[in-house]
Amino acid sequence: MASYEESAGAKPQGLLDRFFKLSAHGTTVGTEVIAGLTTFVSMAYIIAVNPITLEGAGMDWGAVFMATILAAALSTLVMGLYANWPFALAPGMGLNSFFAYTLVAGMGVPWQTALGCVLISGLLALVVTLTGLRELMIKAIPTSLKNAVSAGIGFFIMLIGLKNAGIVIPFEATIISVGDLTAPGVVLAIIGLIITGALVARNVPGGILIGIALTTLIGIPMGITKAPEAIVSMPPSLAPTFLQLDLSGALTLGMATIIFSMFFADLFDTIGTFVGVASKVGLLEDDGSLKGGSRALVADSLGTIIGALLGTSNTTSYVESSAGVAAGGRTGLTSVVTALCFLLAAFFWPLIAVIPGEATAPALIIVGIMMASPLLQIDLNDFAEALPAIITAIMMPFTYSIATGLAMGFIAYVALNLLTGRYKKIHWMMYILAAFFLYYFIAM
């Protein structure tokens, strides 16, 4: 059943029209198909980026590839069939890096335990959505911190992209330094960054995906890209990651902050995407609420749960859905088409498997820049708002941890507004969250 009502006078003319209410939304099957294809091309880069990222956590590339495909396809189908929204989902950028580089590589958490944390964060999101607590949390957390979380994750992704490209390297005297810019891999990454940046700047549909493809091709004569053994083949096995999560390891006090950080980062990213894209497709009520928003939020939460069971990091709604909306997508049929495209892509894994890390690093940098844009919405003239927001944003890359940046920002916000006599601005839930994060630092 679709999640929002037909407009008066609509006359459904077929099964798809009746189910997705196409006539009521002023769209057609052909338009929805084009929109679904557009959304897929705009976000298909995650198929190449996510397996390389999680491979850094010791996970099997082929299994993560399939987990990425299936998590995107199944969760997008839920969004289309249950919520009737033209939104697509896939493992989120930022949280996959947090999963691989902070939790597993940095903190030594086994990837199975990290997957358990992902599942719990998804279940938590589902519970707070069904109980109405999600709306309360959205109101409780100040806009400046919401914007800062998105920007901080963007900076975090940019740093990882620069590191993967070899443009920046560890250096004891200054912590980080510039790498060897004449090394073949670094040169290829810089070329890819320029090409992809130009495509995105010119608003070319699927610019990031095209940039990855061109960079991969350029890497062949440079000796970096290996020729594929085939073009089409049966998909690799999902078995190495399927249901391999460790819940007992995740259900410990030490993992609580990690789980909450995953939950909040996913929450802010989802809300930002929902509001931004929904405003372009007439899914916003006059009071700012979302039409059929509860169903869409449930679908988003189920995406993370599905992804964790399959073997990937948090699955979330993609802002690239706006590309499909711009192409005319108005209903869940757009999402169904996008999901089918993801499933079809599974058979082209030999081509995707040869994409080198130097070709995906530019994508990380550019997506990071896109995610950092909410920083412009923070009032830097109000220091009690600006300081906690900037602390949140910069401490994520500086500490190589989304959780640490989030915790420091929440504590700073409550402390500064208390000390400046603006305690009435602080929602009671912020006190609880700040106390929780403060206890985390003390107990470390």
Element (H, E) at 176: strand 175-178
Over the chain, what is the mean pLDDT?
Answer: 85
Is 24 within a domain? yes
pTM: 0.77
Q: Is residue 234 part of a domain?
A: no
> SS3 for 142?
coil
Report the number of distinct structural domains present in the chain.
Answer: 1
Does the residue 257 lie in any domain? Answer: yes
The confidence score (pLDDT) of residue 130 equals 87
Please say if the pLDDT value at position 154 is more than 90.
no
In a domain, 10, yes or no: no
Residue at 264 is within a domain = yes
Residues 53-112: pLDDT tens digits? Answer: 999 899 999 999 999 999 999 999 999 999 898 899 999 887 898 899 888 988 899 999
pLDDT band at residue 290 using 50, 70 and 90 as cut-offs: low
Give the Cβ contact number of residue 428 at 10 Å: 7
Decide if 204 is inside a domain: yes
Whether residue 411 is contained in a domain is answered as yes
The lowest-confidence range among 65-79, 147-161, 384-398 is 147-161
Measured N-to-C along each axis, helices 143-165 and 256-278 cross at an angle, to the nearest 10 degrees, of 100
**352 bridge partner residues:** none
CA distances from 10 to 7, 24, 291 (A): 6, 5, 18
159 has which bridge partners? none
**Domain range for residue 324?**
15-228+240-443
- List pLDDT tens digits, range 162-215: 988 889 988 888 888 888 899 999 999 999 999 999 998 998 877 888 888 899
What angle, 0 to 180 degrees and rounded to 10, lies between the N-to-C axes of helices 143-165 and 184-201?
140
* Residue 200, domain member (yes or no): yes
